Structure 1
Amino acid sequence: MRIKSVVHNVVQKSDGASRPFLGLEDIESGTGRLLVKDLPFKAAEDSICHGPGDVLFSKLRPYLAKSYLPSANGTGTGELLVLRPNAEVNAKFLLYVTLSHPWVAWANTTAYGTKMPRTSWELVGDYRTWLPPLEEQRRIADFLDAETARIDRLAAARDAQLSALEERELAVIGHMLSGGATSQGGRATDWPWLPYIPANWSIGPVYAYYSTVLGKMLNPERASGEKLRPYLRNANVHWYEINTADMASMHFEANEVRRYSVAPGDLLVCEGGAGVAEAAVWDGRIEECYFQKSLHRVRRSSEVPVEWLMYWLRFAKACGVFDASGNLATIPHLTGEQLRQCRIPIPHDGQRLIRETSRRIGDMAKAGTLLNRAQKTLSERRQALITAAVTGQFDVSTASGRNVTDGVTA
């Protein structure tokens, strides 16, 4: 049957009173869980009201599968559909329907717009769903509560392992940057996050050891011209790696080649955005490649390898060194001048330290890849289980107590 025959879309505007406010950023994709412990109280006149028994689904970017079942009255962003089931529908069962693959696929198919796709009740309400008797809906919802909780416990254990790996990675980098120095015989730095370095090391600004250049600014004519060449932007650069699967092209004049091209061994550093300060070394996989203004190109001009600065940036960002830089009210930035003025420890045997650190981080990266792969598999199994249960692919009364996630397909 069509979902709109048993579910109503409630559009009740807030009266402006201060109530718990739900934003899209508060909902975890694909799970129906909140990402915050307590919702903030807001008095937003353009918000919509909801209550216990309503199922909320994001009409903005529906492919993210953001659904939530509130336990109390509140308000939320107008980007949420408030779905109120009638007496024939169990609210928890409806929540799982909106998390299932067919629903999300339908919502995404009916979405309009490219950069900010949205669906609407008029469109998504035509979704056809299997609706068993109410008691069977309750059994399915209870079954999914138990099974998804088991999967979530496994995912939480994987998350803890990934967090431990990251902590270990930072500990290895911190040990390298400090040279293992302590207050006993070490040199004080006045940095609370890296308090001591060996007494025979020095400290100096980035500009004394590297040359830095900001990339070419985009312009309306960038996609035209005779010399269209691929360029890197901050979306391509992540910690220790550069992804060239999605490259854009821009025109570069002959006199811009030297300034804006990248060569093997160059360090590329993100200038702004969520990935500010993320850095990786270019390996020359594209013979003629350039970089855009969202990136800094750092070249070695001394005996200190660029990898040393890359690891320093990784450790410094994790320690909050850049939190007070730029305009954090909008998008954080690491300007060229800020980067050049950063003071870093200077070792006497940086190349040896980097080789050892890179090897250890590489081993941890392999372990992290396996854990992330396991997380993805768990997420896929969770979604497949929900889909199979709410579409009647198996009988939950006989499935309880066994590992039904094995072999389940969406």
Structure 2
Amino acid sequence: MRNKELLFEAQGLSTDGSEELLSVSHLSGVGPRSEKNVTMTEAASLDGYRVVEPCDLVINTMWAWMGALGVSGHAGIVSPAYGVYRPRPTAPFEPRFFDHLYRSTEYVMEMTRVSRGIWSSRLRIYPEVFLRMAVPVPPLDEQRAIADYLDREIARIDTLVEEQQRLIEMLRERRFAVRVNVALQGAAPSAQVESTLPWAQRLPVGWRVVPLTSVARLESGHTPSRSREDWWQDCYIPWVSLHDVGTMRGVKYLERTAQEISEAGMANSSARLLPAHTVVLSRDATVGRTAIMSVPMATSQHFAAWVCGPLLDPEYLWVLFTDAMQPFFDSFQNGSTIRTIGMGDLKAFRIPLPPLDEQRRIVAHLDEETAKIDALIAESERLVELARERRAALITAAVTGQIDVRGAV
């Protein structure tokens, strides 16, 4: 059937905006905005918003290509930019079945194909186009049987996904705890206590708490003006900038940078070319991302860099920055919109310092233990991915009649 044989566009508008505001998500369909994690600012007035009744199909016209649609189980209102389609009184329309069908991967792909727009992110599905689209309509009793079957099977899959996600979260917490405890207490911590730190209850004998600047030279970066094009031509010197922050998550060695600078640019910058094995730390915007330079590089002003002396292993300092000190970076930040760790705070950093051979044993031990936990996390993430693929395939197969669910238990 054509959608227009099942549905018609509902044109009702709210007179005072007092109805419950609904939200449409590609993940969870239609539901009260108050129950969803919505970051967009709510309009000052909801007058003129479109009225939604239970069983109405609601489509976010701008995000239908992402699957932002669903059959509502609630009465309320939605943005006037959304499409609201109401079942015809005599139409064979089981809401649960059509919620699955319209949100299925294949039907969303078909809506994307017939949507209009210059760019994929600007595609729109307009009412006249949607209502012309064809839709498979099994008998009403089969719709109910399919919906019952999917309710059961999806609940099982979703339970499995939730269990794996809880396991992943527990493994990540375990990973963090292992790395922090070992970094601050050693691979084989002693029962004797030499000092007490805010972030560790016990410090093994032979360890010290020292200012970081006493064992590493602190360097700050700089970015020369972009007005001189020759400073940014014929570039080959690696330049650590905020463009690299995203690649630093969980990466020990920074092999290459997103940007490079020329010799002329370096000559007109107060930044210096720093040696390999320098440890960099982002101090603006996304604060606390860290990596070790694998080759000589320079940095922008958004990074602090430590050139480690003979008493400090760069990989041990990276471990401290990556894990043990992460919860405390927030306490050093200031600024309401752009968060920053100031140079004065950076100079005040103090770290636990084991003997150099112990630092290296700690790093080797953590590499081994972390690899085991990471393998378990990767396995669980793969199970979640497979379960979600199974979920989508099962819905498509059921709503298109590829499997017979009658009598299924």
Q: TM-score, normalised by structure 2?
A: 0.75
Matching residue of 1:187: 195
Asked if the contact 2:10–2:85 (Cα under 8 Å) also holds between the matched residues in 1, the reply is yes
Asked if the contact 1:106–1:124 (Cα under 8 Å) also holds between the matched residues in 2, the reply is no
The answer to whether 1:119 aligns with 2:127 is: no
Question: Which residue type is aligned with residue 262 of structure 2?
Answer: F
Q: Secondary structure at the match of 1:211?
A: strand
CA 1:153–1:268 in 2, change beyond 3 Å: closer, same or farther? farther
Q: Secondary structure at the match of 1:144?
A: helix
CA 1:103–1:211 in 2, change beyond 3 Å: closer, same or farther? farther
| 1:394 pairs with one of 381, 403, 406 | 403
After TM superposition, give the deviation of residue 153 of structure 1 in Å.
1.3
Distance (Å, rounded) in 2 between the aligned partners of 1:99 and 1:324: 46
Alignment of 1:71-220 (within 5 A): 71-76=73-78, 80-86=82-88, 87-109=91-113, 110=115, 112=117, 114=119, 116-122=121-127, 123-179=129-185, 185-189=193-197, 191=198, 193-198=199-204, 200-208=206-214, 209-214=216-221, 216=223, 219=226
CA 1:197–1:224 in 2, change beyond 3 Å: closer, same or farther? same
The answer to whether 1:38 aligns with 2:35 is: yes
| 1:352 pairs with one of 351, 361, 379 | 361
Distance (Å, rounded) in 2 between the aligned partners of 1:311 and 1:171: 12
Bigger CA drift: 33-42 or 84-93? 33-42
Q: Secondary structure at the match of 2:203?
A: strand
Q: Secondary structure at the match of 2:406?
A: helix
The answer to whether 1:237 aligns with 2:242 is: no
CA 1:393–1:270 in 2, change beyond 3 Å: closer, same or farther? farther
Question: Which residue type is aligned with residue 159 of structure 2?
Answer: R
After TM superposition, give the deviation of residue 358 of structure 1 in Å.
1.7
After TM superposition, give the deviation of residue 56 of structure 1 in Å.
3.8
CA RMSD, 1 decimal: 4.3
Asked if the contact 2:217–2:307 (Cα under 8 Å) also holds between the matched residues in 1, the reply is yes
Matching residue of 2:308: 300
Q: TM-score, normalised by structure 1?
A: 0.74
Asked if the contact 1:52–1:70 (Cα under 8 Å) also holds between the matched residues in 2, the reply is yes
After TM superposition, give the deviation of residue 116 of structure 1 in Å.
4.5
Asked if the contact 2:193–2:203 (Cα under 8 Å) also holds between the matched residues in 1, the reply is no
Matching residue of 1:7: 7
Distance (Å, rounded) in 1 between the aligned partners of 2:174 and 2:306: 27
Matching residue of 2:55: 53
Name stretches of at least 5 consecutive residues in structure 2 with no aligned partner.
Answer: none
After TM superposition, give the deviation of residue 393 of structure 1 in Å.
1.6
Question: Which residue type is aligned with residue 121 of structure 1?
Answer: Y
The answer to whether 1:378 aligns with 2:387 is: yes
CA 1:12–1:40 in 2, change beyond 3 Å: closer, same or farther? farther
CA 1:22–1:201 in 2, change beyond 3 Å: closer, same or farther? farther
Greater share of residues in helix? 2
Question: Which residue type is aligned with residue 234 of structure 2?
Answer: K
Name stretches of at least 5 consecutive residues in structure 1 with no aligned partner.
Answer: 402-410
Question: Which residue type is aligned with residue 316 of structure 2?
Answer: W
Q: Secondary structure at the match of 1:345?
A: strand
Distance (Å, rounded) in 2 between the aligned partners of 1:220 and 1:115: 34
Distance (Å, rounded) in 1 between the aligned partners of 2:11 and 2:203: 62
CA 1:326–1:67 in 2, change beyond 3 Å: closer, same or farther? farther
Asked if the contact 1:100–1:386 (Cα under 8 Å) also holds between the matched residues in 2, the reply is yes
Cα shift readout 1:38-81 (whole Å, capped 9, x = no counterpart): 35997742565434223444444545434455443344556754
Distance (Å, rounded) in 2 between the aligned partners of 1:224 and 1:115: 36
Matching residue of 1:265: 277
Greater Rg by CA: 2
Bigger CA drift: 10-19 or 51-60? 10-19
Asked if the contact 1:266–1:299 (Cα under 8 Å) also holds between the matched residues in 2, the reply is yes
After TM superposition, give the deviation of residue 149 of structure 1 in Å.
0.9
CA 1:260–1:55 in 2, change beyond 3 Å: closer, same or farther? farther
Matching residue of 1:407: none
CA 1:172–1:118 in 2, change beyond 3 Å: closer, same or farther? same
Alignment of 1:272-283 (within 5 A): 276-283=287-294
Cα shift readout 1:354-394 (whole Å, capped 9, x = no counterpart): 11112211221122222212211111111111111222222
Distance (Å, rounded) in 2 between the aligned partners of 1:381 and 1:166: 25
Distance (Å, rounded) in 2 between the aligned partners of 1:11 and 1:165: 50
Q: Secondary structure at the match of 2:209?
A: strand
